[in-house]
Structure 1
Amino acid sequence: MVVCFLIHTVCPLTALSPAECRVVYCRVFGPEEGVLAGEGRQLSALAEAVPGEEAPVLQEADVGVARLRAGDPFAQEMSAVWLGVQSLGFTLVCQPHENLLLAQGTLRTLTRLCLDHLHLLGPGSEVLLRSDRIDVLLSRLLPHGQLLFLNHRFAQSLEKEVSAYVSK
């Protein structure tokens, strides 16, 4: 199960001081929601633990997996799958027994949809104003935090649904 999805800022590590990392969007799934409510400082620490470098396109984006120790900010050990695209980092925090390849594929799909339809990297983009659209993407791709195996037909129908919702 996915516990948390984050969109946060990333910069080359030499240019980023710990105080400059920002959590732009966060969605928590399941019982951990109450634990993380109001824990912005700890989520910033989580985002800082996920490295990132600038990358020009999604195919060349930095991607990786990190093991999070118990107690920072989760009560038990977790796995974080991250993807850095230019100045944004996208992170899925999963339970340690999850299929990390499936999580990585889901994260790539989610990142592509966010970048294509929400124009997150464009000038003047405001992720906070588009949080409802990100919630719709998450509810389709990660219902209640469950990773789904996506076939081609479902991916196409999701693409059409997202396009219709965004055009409203």
Structure 2
Amino acid sequence: MVVGFVISTVASDVTRVIFSFMFELDGAVDVATTDQLRALRKEQAMHVACQVQSEYSFLRASSQSLAEVGMTTAMTRGGGGGGGGAGEDEKAVHEHGLFRVRPGMPFTGDDSKVVLWQATAGAGYALVCEEEENRVVAAQVLCLLVQYLQEHVKSAEQPAAEFMLKSDRVMTVLHQFLPNGQLLFLNHRAVRQLEKEMEVLLQGK
């Protein structure tokens, strides 16, 4: 079971949740009011977003350090100062990772959660899964979500604005490939079929 899906900023100093949807709020059934439920969802989404931001920043810093070392080595050996490295276009970066969220707030219950994430073009995409979930399938579904959200929703210039203004399109893509938080084993034919159905649903949105 996938617990939630979160899209957040990763390219700025301030972490911001752009879009979030929680399929299941374990241990939250006793929340008394709608406002409390909404506050809990926001807390969960922000917790994931902040951790994705931290992981992304660490990977970017490590990659740049390695690139600088490689460039220094090449120059020492008489090579030219080739392109890429620290000057790499931000839009071309595609990082990914995995981390655990320990039992307790903001995700209550006795089991940890596993978060798989990808980041590209200044936005981070994260699936919050139960500990025992198939991570290979989760990674495949996350890749598909990122691919189709990039194609059908995101504007390269203002990704955050596009996601917020077109949340109905985000929900359509999300529920097509992750119905009720259930991971699907998808071969090429199944993906193509879901893609055709999704394009019909997205018409006019």
Please state which band the TM-score falls in when normalised by the shorter chain.
Answer: 0.7 to 0.9
1:49 matched residue in structure 2? 51
For residues 141 and 147 of structure 1, the distance between their equivalents in structure 2, rounded to whole angstroms, comes to 8
Structure with the bigger percentage of helix:
2
- Please, what TM-score do these two structures have when normalized by structure 2? 0.70
1:62-91, Cα deviation, whole Å (9 max, x unpaired): 111101111231013100000011210000
Distance 2:189 2:177 in 1: 14
Aligned to 2:3: 3
Which consecutive unaligned segments of at least 5 residues does structure 1 have? none
- Write out per-residue CA displacement over residues 17-45 of structure 1, whole angstroms, 9 at most, x where no aligned residue: xxx11111111113437665323244223
Provide the residue aligned with 1:38 in structure 2.
39
Cα shift at 1:142: 1.0
Question: Which residue among 18, 21, 32 is the counterpart of 1:24?
Answer: 18
Structure with larger Rg:
2
How many pairs does the alignment contain?
Answer: 160
Distance in 2, matches of 1:42 and 1:92, equals: 12
Residue 153 of structure 2 is matched in structure 1 by 118
Post-superposition CA distance 1:46-75 (Å, at most 9, x none): 211122257534xx5111110111123101
Q: State which drifts further: 74-83 or 35-44.
A: 35-44
Q: Taking structure 1 as the reference length, what is the TM-score of the superposition?
A: 0.84
Equivalent in 101, 106, 117 of residue 68 of structure 1: 101
Q: Contact 1:114–1:120 at 8 Å: present in 2 too?
A: no
Distance 1:120 1:44 in 2: 23
Name structure 2 gaps, 5 residues minimum. 32-36, 61-89
Q: Distance in 1 between matches of 2:136 and 2:103?
A: 22
Give the whole-Å Cα distance in 2 for the aligned partners of 1:116 and 1:167.
14
